[in-house]
Amino acid sequence: MRIGDYSVIFDGRECPLAVIRTGALRPAAFFRHHGRNSGQRRRGDFSLAYWRENHRAFFERSGYWSEGMALVVKEFMPMEILWLCLDVTCRPG
């Protein structure tokens, strides 16, 4: 992952939703992450509390969790919204 890289975001059915471009990468401890870009992902209520709750749950399921754990925070810019997943026929390959 490098600044300027493009990525495709997929939904839970592995259907493409958007193309994003990495704008910044910065190290941060979990408890110090300010959540400035937490609303970019358009999930939940876009709050820092929502971001922390869901990311904590993800890391706990993965077997690694601590308040001070190191993160690489990826800030990104949406480049293209792909409306392909509105099609109910979209299924993983």
pLDDT digits (tens, 9 = 90+) for 16-60: 888 999 999 989 888 777 666 554 555 556 677 887 888 899 999
Report residue 6 CA to chain centroid gap. 14
Read off the pTM: 0.63
Residue range of the domain that includes 43: 6-86
CATH of the domain at 17: 3.10.400.10
* % of the chain at pLDDT higher than 70: 73
Is 41 within the bounds of a domain? yes
